[in-house]
Amino acid sequence: MVKPDYAGGGFVNLIASLVEACGGAPRHAPLAALPAAEAARAGNILLLIVDGLGDNYLQREGAGGSLLARRRGAITSVFPSTTASAITTAHTGWTPLEHGLTGWFTLFGEAGCVGAPLPFQRRGERAALNAAPAALYRAGPLFDGLARRSLVVSYRPIIDSTYNLHHCGRAERLAYDKLEGLVEQTVAAVKSGPGPKFVYAYWPEFDALSHRHGNGSAEVRAHFKAVDAAFGELMRQLAGTDTLVVATADHGFVDSVGPDALDFADAPGLSGLLRYPLCGESRMAFCHVQAGREREFLQRAADWLGPRAQVRPSMDLAQEGWFGGGDAHPRFAERIGDVALQMNGRATVKDWIPGEPRHRHVGHHGGASADEMLIPLIVGSV
């Protein structure tokens, strides 16, 4: 397992370096591999996040391409290694311990249910969470504290989502529909008038295809080639703009199929010990256990999973620093539950509730393998 680095070698430190370079107040140590002073020398700073592009994948598939040619090294994601946790760090500069978003599904006591924070929906329903966004999203947008003009370039179906509206703050938002639109709108953002700018650009399709077909699939490999070519075109069109381009990801992937893909309903007696459905991710599940049954649940889960998982009290992970440091979210303990199922190898665990289609992804993330935790640091100046 790869433990996240929050002291100078991780994603949260990259965000801290960029915040400081843009005249803001970073909450954490800067990234050793990209000091704030280096970034601050550029007239414009562009952060491009390719959702799901792990460093190991880049090194396997990127030979001869524009992305690998500018790779400075690897950094770690946050934990869990998932979009809800890492992208919230990208928007706020806060660790998961601080912002409190710990997976695709999270128990929101404020809303009285398990919900998905990114689409802002109750689990198993298309209904919105019954709470004000500010009550669930503790952290404010880092863009509002920067001395540079900020622009966010994102996929049209999500750019005006409840999550994005909260976390983008006063940043200007530019939408696109396809990969060529990402390049077009990012170039437009960088070239949009005089003065120093911070541009945040996000591409989600690599992640979506990796979930659907598997990270090792031919479909994802073909898409990666298109992303790599688009990055090369982006660098070409930005030439002469005095821009520091930083590209990275929020997490990587593992593929889990067949006997590695476990159904929680098959676990003898475990479902009946829970107060809520599983939270977190299929690679890092948080279990909210009936009061007084925690020891029984731990033993039963360990017996069922064996070497396929580390079964531990959830707060042990927090005390060991997996979620980072800082001022813990006031409901953090509630959100990570009582017992954590930290999956080993390529194992995943999934449950379903009424209203959810019985669908399994091929590609997964959220765990602590090197394929999931290591993300690339790609740096270029134009």
Q: What is the percent of the chain where pLDDT is above 70?
A: 100
Three-state SS for 303? helix
What is the tens place of the pLDDT at every residue in 21-50? 999 999 999 999 999 999 999 999 999 999
What is the tens place of the pLDDT at every residue in 217-259? 999 999 999 999 999 999 999 999 999 999 999 999 999 999 9
What is the tens place of the pLDDT at every residue in 151-169? 999 999 999 999 999 999 9
CB atoms within 10 A of CB 321: 16
Instruction: Return d(Cα 332, Cα 51) in angstroms, integer.
Output: 25
Instruction: Evaluate if residue 380 carries a pLDDT over 90.
Output: yes
Instruction: Evaluate if residue 359 carries a pLDDT over 90.
Output: no
Three-state SS for 283? coil
Instruction: Evaluate if residue 358 carries a pLDDT over 90.
Output: no
Instruction: Evaluate if residue 97 carries a pLDDT over 90.
Output: yes
What is the tens place of the pLDDT at every residue in 331-357? 999 999 999 999 999 999 999 998 888
Check: CB of residue 145 under 8 Å from CB of residue 25.
yes
pLDDT at position 288 is 98
Three-state SS for 311? strand
Among 304, 240, 224, 210, CA closest to 58: 224
Mean pLDDT, all residues of the chain: 97
What do you get for the CA distance between the two ends of the chain, in Å?
A: 37
Mean pLDDT throughout 63-76? 98
Three-state SS for 239? coil
pLDDT at position 354 is 87
pLDDT at position 23 is 97
- 152 bridge partner residues: 173, 200
Cis amide bond preceding 4, omega within 30: no
| Phi (first) and psi of residue 262, to 5 degrees | -95, 145
> What residue ranges define each of the domains in the chain, with the CATH number in brackets?
11-255+368-381 (3.40.720.10), 258-363 (3.30.1360.180)
Instruction: Return d(Cα 147, Cα 174) in angstroms, integer.
Output: 20
Contacts of 224 (CB under 8 A, 6+ apart): 53, 57, 61, 62, 206
Residue 181, Ramachandran bin (φ over 0: left; ψ between -120 and 50: alpha; else beta): alpha
Tokens 């940043």 appear where?
A: 171
pTM score, two decimals?
0.96
pLDDT at position 355 is 82
- 311 bridge partner residues: 341
The H or E element that residue 237 is part of is helix 218-237
What is the tens place of the pLDDT at every residue in 187-213? 999 999 899 999 999 999 999 999 999
Instruction: Return d(Cα 269, Cα 300) in angstroms, integer.
Output: 8
Instruction: Return d(Cα 116, Cα 308) in angstroms, integer.
Output: 26
Instruction: Evaluate if residue 141 carries a pLDDT over 90.
Output: yes
Mean pLDDT throughout 313-327? 97
What is the tens place of the pLDDT at every residue in 278-317? 999 999 999 999 999 999 999 999 999 999 999 999 999 9
